Each structure stands twice: as structure tokens, then as C-alpha cells.
């Protein structure tokens, strides 16, 4: 068995001055979860598909005289299958254990974390909170991906616990495939720009829904002379993101509490506007509003680029069903709807030239010293993250 | 600290929890079993670290145990252990999928008994 087939230990997670302190037991919990997720994804998930092909689909065909045509038909048919039930119950349980493990680690030291972030955040005016910003319903109706309290809940004054919990667990949830600083998405975007548009030098960059800032930091590093604004509605995320960026030596990002649906910047204020894994946590009215705002804020010749999970168009019903699991079972209520949209049409409706719309696949940039073989061979080996990137250049 | 970190660590996420099995009691037991499985893994990792440290140094402090970071080789061994451990705990899942893949489920034992009685 090759070492590369197994996820890296959480001991390689990227640490910075506001990352929670941990002990051996915390590493063991995250390692257990990473390996359990690996088992569910690589060993049990193929059996779920085999159960569909081998017994659920034939039974459906026998009853209806045709194959399931939509992911909803597949979901209803699969609900009674024992292997699917086991896989789902274990997956849900894994999510809940991950939250408890992260919160258990963070909440025991929350006072110290608050003090550390306060000290770093007092050093400059790069953190701009606005208590009048309302947490939108799509962010508060349920706790997104089963994080108790969501992104925004504050247990104490100047709380950062939601953010520290989010930051420390991604490495275990993704088996390290986003890199030790969970920044594989931002790094992929920076690398794509360097390879395909080496002459593009944005002076002002806006990142919407930045959470802990893990994907905007690589862009701030790639364009050190740019003025970067990263916004989010959740104060705990922004406090932590600002302290985290400063701790990593990044000084050209301002973290601002704001909702991307309406921003007070002048038309054409930005050359590059980005999001990462953002749209599926929005809503059907907010998403067009935000795209319209992006179109307004983008300067002529500017670029907007978004990393997301792939859209369902063109996928067979089973593939759609399995990708839809999180919508129903991991508190991602807009995921299913969002992945049906025709993004080119939505961008056009927001005012972008449909001819300038693009869609491509980008691979997460993984850390060479954690994944030596995967990165040297240039192959996936099932470890690298693969996203859809869509966007448009403004005329 | 004005909060209860133990109780809050286990807070529920708002949103109706899905139950996948016909009987939610089964899922409750599974959830508890998985928590025990994880904590057993934690114990194993800690013991493994302890043994390695004792071997390396011939002495031990609590501080040293918490500072233990396995080297590449040890990390690979420990990760492999985790894989085997998960397979062990989830044995019934493997065996149920094997039963499905092997075609029809086994016939009831009574039928085998009757067959042997009449042979």
C-alpha cells in the first residue's frame, strides 16, 4: 500500500499565531475523521453506487417501466436501501463528530484566542466591522454544513470561536487536499491567472464571502501591490481572518463587514472580483443581486472569477443525486437549487456580455511536501480538489 | 471563562436532523458507537505515542507526550493502523456489502437444518 493513498496527518496543518493550540488527542481525533471520511468516500461510496445499479434501479425499472429520470427520483428510490442508509448515517455522524472535535478544541481556549486576535487586530485599521449589517436569512435559517451557530454566532464579546473551529477542521474534512492552510482554491486561481493571463495586474481586488480569508490570502500574495478588500457578513470570521492574515505577514487586505448584495463602492472600483465556494450558500434572489453588483463594481477590462462545485447540467441522475447529498443532509439548503442554474444566462442577466463568459476546470494546488507523489507526477491520484471556475471579463 | 465549553462543543446545528434508518433508535446507537470508535482511536494514538517516547528517551513527562509529533515513517504506520481500525469497527458494513455482491442473501438457517435433517 502506498503512503500517498492515505490522507496526511493533521499534524501538518498550517499553524499561525491565532490558530488554536492543540495536543496529541486533538490530532488523533482529526486523523480518525480524515480516515473515516476516506473510507466513506473511497470504499463505501462505490458500494452505494453498486447498490443503485444492482438492485435499486432495476426495482424502479420493474415498477415504472423506465429508469429514474431525475436526481429526486433517485433519492426517493435510494432512501430505503440499507447500504445507502449506512453510508449516509456514518457520513452525518462524521460531520457531527468533526464539529464537536473542533469546538471542543477551540472553546476550551476561547479567551486566549480572543486576546490573541484582539492584539493583532489593534495593530492597524484593516478590520472594519459594522454592527448594522444583518445576517441574511440564507445564512441563518439553518446552521450551514452543520456548524452549530453557523458563521455568525458570538458566544462572547469579540468572539472568534466559529472561525477558529472552521479553520482547524477543513484539513481533516478534506483529507488535506486543500493544502495545509486550506488555501488550495485561492492558490489555484492565482496560478491560473499567472499561467493564462500573465499581463493581468489588478490594482484593486474584492473577495466576497471571505470567511477566514483562506482563499484571498494567496491572491494578496500574488499581487502584493494591489489593494484587497475582503467582505463577509459574519463578524467572528472577519476578526479571525484579519488576525490570521496579519499573522501570516499579509498586510494588503482590508476585512470589512458587508453584504455583497449592496455595497457602497463606486461603479468600476475593482479590477478583480472573486468568490470561492460561495454561491451555494446564497439564495435565488440574493445571487442575481450579487452578480449585478459585481458587474457594477467591476472596471472595464476587469475580471470576475468564481470557484464552485460543478453544475448538474449534463450529469446523469445518480451523479446529481450523490452530489446533492449535502443539500439535504449537511444543511446546505441552496446547494441543490444553485447547481441547476445556467450560469452563463445568469451572468448575462446581470449585465455581462455572454460572449465573454467562461467556464473551466481548476485543480487545487496541493502542498508538495505533504503529497510528494501526487504533485511530482502531475496526476490527480484522487487527492487533488477539482472545481468549476466560471466568470467573465467586463467589456 | 463564562461559557461551558464541554456542553457547547456538542451543541446541535439548527436544521432538522435527517435519520436514515427505518428506526431512529438504531441511528442513535450507531452515533454513540462511532463516538466510542473515535475515542478509542484517540486512546490508541496516545498509547502509541507513549510507547514510542518511552522507547526513544527512557523517560516520560506529560508535557513530552503532548509534544509528540510522529516522524514520516511513524506517521505512515499510524495512518495505516487507522485504516485497519476503521475496517475492523465497520466489519458488518463490509460483510453486508459482500453478501449483496455475492448474489442472493444466504438462506435461513432453518432451511439448512431441514435440508440436513432430510439428507
**What is the spatial distance between Cα A2 and Cα A221, in angstroms, rounded to a whole number?**
34
CB pair distance less than 8 Å for A149 and B11: yes
A196 lies in the same domain as A83: no
> Could you tell me if A388 and A363 are in contact, meaning their C-beta atoms sit under 8 angstroms apart?
no
Question: In terms of pLDDT, which residue wins out, A125 or B10?
Answer: A125
A158 lies in the same domain as A215: no
A215 lies in the same domain as A97: no
- Chain A residue with the nearest C-alpha to that of B89: A36
Q: Does A378 have pLDDT greater than 50?
A: no
Q: Choose, out of B10, B15, B77, the residue to mutate when testing the contact with A (most A CBs < 10 Å).
A: B15
**Quick one: pLDDT at residue A367?**
72
- The CA-CA-CA angle for residues A220, A224, A230, to 5°, reads 30
A287 lies in the same domain as A249: yes
Smallest Cβ distance to A148: which of B12, B41, B75? B12
Q: Does A102 have pLDDT greater than 90?
A: yes
> Could you tell me if A329 and A88 are in contact, meaning their C-beta atoms sit under 8 angstroms apart?
yes
Task: Provide the domain limits for residue A118.
Answer: 3-124+144-168
- For residues B7-35, give the mean pLDDT: 89
Helix (H) or strand (E) holding B86: helix B72-89
Residue A136 resides in a domain: no
| pLDDT tens digits along B81-95 | 888 888 777 877 877
User: Which has the closest alpha carbon to B29: A330, A132, A89?
Assistant: A89
**What is the spatial distance between Cα A153 and Cα A164, in angstroms, rounded to a whole number?**
13
A306 lies in the same domain as A378: yes
How many Cβ pairs within 8 Å bridge chains A and B? Answer: 153
**Quick one: pLDDT at residue A383?**
45
ipTM (interface pTM): 0.72
A93 lies in the same domain as A13: yes
Domain count, chain A: 2
Residue A133 resides in a domain: no
Q: Looking at beta carbons, which residues of chain B come within 8 Å of A157?
A: none
Residue A132 resides in a domain: no
**What is the spatial distance between Cα A204 and Cα A286, in angstroms, rounded to a whole number?**
24
| pLDDT tens digits along B42-54 | 999 998 888 888 8
Arithmetic mean of pLDDT over chain A: 92
Q: pTM, whole model, 2 decimals? A: 0.89
Chain B stretch 82-111, residues whose beta carbon is closer than 8 A to a beta carbon of chain A: 82-83, 86-87, 90, 93, 96-97, 100-101
Residue A196 resides in a domain: yes
| Helices and strands per DSSP (H, E), number in chain B | 6, 0
User: Which has the closest alpha carbon to A74: A380, A320, A377, A394?
Assistant: A320
**B53 and chain A in contact, CB less than 8 A:** no
**Quick one: pLDDT at residue B104?**
54
Q: What percent of chain A is predicted at pLDDT more than 70?
A: 95
| Phi/psi of residue B103, nearest 5 degrees | 100, -140
Residue A139 resides in a domain: no
User: Which has the closest alpha carbon to A365: A205, A176, A200, A210?
Assistant: A176
> Could you tell me if A307 and A276 are in contact, meaning their C-beta atoms sit under 8 angstroms apart?
yes
For chain B, what are the domain ranges?
A: 20-118
Q: Does A253 have pLDDT greater than 50?
A: yes
Q: Does A4 have pLDDT greater than 50?
A: no
A189 lies in the same domain as A99: no
CATH number of the domain encompassing residue A314: 3.40.50.150
- Chain B residue with the nearest C-alpha to that of A329: B18
A29 lies in the same domain as A110: yes
Write down the H helix ranges in chain A: 24-38, 45-51, 57-64, 71-78, 82-107, 110-121, 137-140, 161-173, 184-196, 217-222, 235-247, 286-297, 317-323, 325-329, 335-338, 343-349, 372-377
Amino acid at each position: 500500500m502506498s503512503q500517498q493513498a492515505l490522507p496526511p496527518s493533521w499534524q501538518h496543518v498550517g499553524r499561525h499565531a491565532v490558530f488554536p493550540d492543540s495536543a496529541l488527542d486533538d490530532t488523533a481525533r482529526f486523523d480518525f475523521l480524515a480516515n473515516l471520511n476516506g473510507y466513506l468516500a473511497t470504499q463505501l461510496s462505490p458500494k452505494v453506487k453498486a447498490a443503485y445499479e444492482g438492485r435499486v434501479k432495476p426495482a424502479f425499472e420493474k415498477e415504472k417501466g423506465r429508469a429514474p429520470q431525475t436526481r429526486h427520483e433517485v433519492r426517493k428510490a435510494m432512501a430505503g436501501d440499507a447500504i445507502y442508509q449506512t453510508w449516509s448515517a456514518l457520513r452525518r455522524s462524521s460531520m457531527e463528530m468533526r464539529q464537536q472535535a473542533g469546538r471542543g478544541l477551540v472553546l476550551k481556549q476561547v479567551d486566549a484566542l480572543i486576546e490573541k486576535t484582539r492584539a493583532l487586530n489593534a495593530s492597524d485599521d484593516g478590520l472594519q466591522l459594522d454592527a448594522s449589517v444583518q445576517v441574511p436569512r440564507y445564512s441563518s435559517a439553518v446552521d450551514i454544513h452543520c456548524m452549530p451557530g453557523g458563521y455568525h454566532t458570538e458566544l462572547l464579546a469579540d468572539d472568534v470561536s466559529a472561525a477558529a473551529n472552521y479553520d482547524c477542521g477543513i484539513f481533516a474534512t478534506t483529507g488535506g487536499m486543500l493544502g495545509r492552510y486550506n488555501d488550495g482554491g485561492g492558490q489555484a486561481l492565482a496560478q491560473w491567472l499567472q499561467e493564462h493571463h500573465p499581463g493581468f495586474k489588478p490594482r484593486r481586488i474584492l473577495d466576497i464571502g471571505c470567511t477566514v480569508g483562506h482563499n484571498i490570502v494567496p491572491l494578496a500574495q500574488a499581487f502584493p501591490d494591489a489593494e484587497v478588500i475582503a467582505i463577509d457578513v459574519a463578524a467572528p470570521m472577519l476578526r479571525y481572518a484579519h488576525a490570521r492574515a496579519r499573522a501570516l505577514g499579509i498586510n494588503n487586505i482590508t476585512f470589512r463587514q458587508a453584504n455583497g448584495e449592496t455595497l457602497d463602492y463606486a461603479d468600476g472600483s475593482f479590477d478583480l472580483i472573486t468568490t470561492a465556494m460561495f454561491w451555494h450558500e446564497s439564495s435565488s434572489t440574493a445571487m442575481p443581486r450579487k452578480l449585478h453588483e459585481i458587474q457594477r463594481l467591476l472596471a472595464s477590462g476587469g475580471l470576475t472569477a468564481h470557484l464552485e462545485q460543478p453544475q448538474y447540467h449534463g450529469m446523469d441522475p445518480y451523479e446529481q443525486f450523490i452530489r446533492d447529498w449535502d443539500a439535504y443532509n449537511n444543511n446546505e439548503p441552496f446547494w441543490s437549487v444553485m447547481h441547476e442554474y445556467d450560469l452563463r444566462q445568469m451572468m448575462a442577466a446581470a449585465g455581462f456580455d455572454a460572449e465573454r463568459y467562461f467556464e473551466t476546470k481548476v485543480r487545487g494546488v496541493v502542498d508538495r511536501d505533504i503529497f510528494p507523489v501526487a504533485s511530482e507526477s502531475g496526476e490527480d491520484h484522487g487527492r487533488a480538489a477539482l472545481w468549476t471556475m466560471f466568470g467573465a471579463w467586463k467589456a | 471563562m463564562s461559557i461551558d465549553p464541554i456542553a457547547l462543543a456538542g451543541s446541535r446545528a439548527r436544521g432538522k436532523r435527517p435519520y436514515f434508518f427505518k428506526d431512529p433508535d438504531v441511528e442513535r446507537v450507531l452515533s454513540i458507537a462511532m463516538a466510542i470508535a473515535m475515542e478509542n482511536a484517540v486512546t490508541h494514538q496516545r498509547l502509541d505515542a507513549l510507547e514510542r517516547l518511552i522507547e526513544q528517551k527512557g523517560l516520560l513527562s506529560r508535557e513530552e507526550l503532548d509534544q509528540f509529533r510522529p516522524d514520516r515513517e511513524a506517521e505512515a504506520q499510524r495512518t495505516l493502523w487507522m485504516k485497519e481500525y476503521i475496517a475492523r469497527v465497520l466489519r458488518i458494513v463490509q460483510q453486508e456489502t459482500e453478501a449483496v455482491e455475492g448474489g442472493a442473501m444466504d438462506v435461513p438457517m432453518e432451511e439448512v437444518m431441514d435440508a440436513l435433517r432430510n439428507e
